[in-house]
Structure 1
Amino acid sequence: MARAQRPTNLARRLRRDLTDAERTLWHHIRDRRLGGWKFKRQVPVGGYVVDFLCADARLIIEVDGGQHAVRVAADAKRTEVLEAAGYLVLRFWNNDVLGNIDGVLEEIVATLPPDPPHPNPLPAGERGHG
């Protein structure tokens, strides 16, 4: 059980300590601001804490700083594990997010399915039947 707590505690700390690039992207995708899709930040998934997750679209967005230039193999393994779990992983460099947020958002939108799920679906017993 202690092992399950570590990613959760790390996620909480990372949510408090967003980088400037993460904070910028979060501003644009939070509260269903991006096409109605719901994103969460710093979420434990498959033994990792991912930067942003859209569970409905099975999309993970990672924002990488300069330290990732020397962690190519570790990042590739991380992506492989997450993709094997059924997620699509998009990676952006910090300088892309900070210098071209419109381009980053366009790429995310192009990756998402055309219609987000309804934010407040009716319970199964209350849906219309024809």
Structure 2
Amino acid sequence: MNIAWQGEVTDTGGMERQHNKIHRDLARNLRKNMTTPEQQLWEALRKRQLDGYRFRRQTPLGRYIADFVCLEARLVIELDGNHHHDQQDYDRERDDWMQQQNFCVLRFWNHEIQHHQQTVIQQIRQALHQQSSLLLPPSPPAGEGLGMGGKFGVR
């Protein structure tokens, strides 16, 4: 379900808090009213079932609400039903924003979840591992870690 909060965030503390509350309430409502394909995918993603990665559902990211997100791997999963040209423009704008925030966005059609769920799960698994490998910090050069001997080393 692709719904976004279109309000304007301002620097006036109370106004911003009110907008954030509206955004959180919308996300909460979306979690309570998930579509059948969203429920099916959630059953496969919840409780770290997919290689130990933690997913959240209907989560605010900026002014958007992601269907599913793994913050650790910076992966967003969106499910699409039938939509019109204006919805495609909105999705493109939303994907661009998420990519600017260093999220990888995967999109699946509802019928893919319903009829080819294992293929979808495999694609998600592959993206998780690709994203995670991109996010790993580089190893320190030899002799510069907290290895043997130093202040924090084993004696």
TM-score by length of 2: 0.72
1:6: Cα distance to partner?
A: 1.6
- The change in CA–CA distance for 1:76 and 1:33 in structure 2 (over 3 A counts) is same
Q: Larger Rg: 1 or 2?
A: 2
Moved over 3 A (4+): none
Distance 1:90 1:31, change over 3 A: same
Structure with the bigger RCO (C-alpha within 8 Å, sep 6+) is 1
Q: Which residue of 2 aligns with 1:121?
A: none
Task: Tell me which of 51, 61, 74 is aligned to 2:77.
Answer: 61
Q: Residue by residue, what CA displacement relative to the aligned partner does 1:75-123 show, whole Å, maximum 9, x if unpaired?
A: 000000111111111000000011100000000001112779xxxxxxx
Equivalent position SS for 2:67: strand
Percentage of identical aligned residues = 34
TM-superposition CA deviations, 1:2-38 (whole Å, max 9, x none): 1111210010000000000000000001000011100
Structure 2 matches for 1:74-89, cutoff 5 A?
74-89=90-105
Q: Choose from 100, 112, 118 the match for 2:116.
A: 100
Q: Secondary structure at the match of 2:129?
A: coil
Query: 2:68 — aligned with what?
Result: 52
* Aligned match of 1:72: 88
Q: In the alignment, does 2:54 pair up with 1:38?
A: yes
Compute the TM-score of the two structures, normalised by the length of structure 1: 0.85
Matched residue, 1:25 = 41
Q: Between Structure 1 and Structure 2, how many residues are aligned?
A: 119
Q: What's the C-alpha RMSD, in Å, of the aligned pairs?
A: 1.9
Separation in structure 2 between the aligned mates of residue 129 and residue 113 of structure 1, nearest angstrom: 31
1:13, 1:64 → 2: CA distance?
18
**Who is 1:12 aligned against?**
28
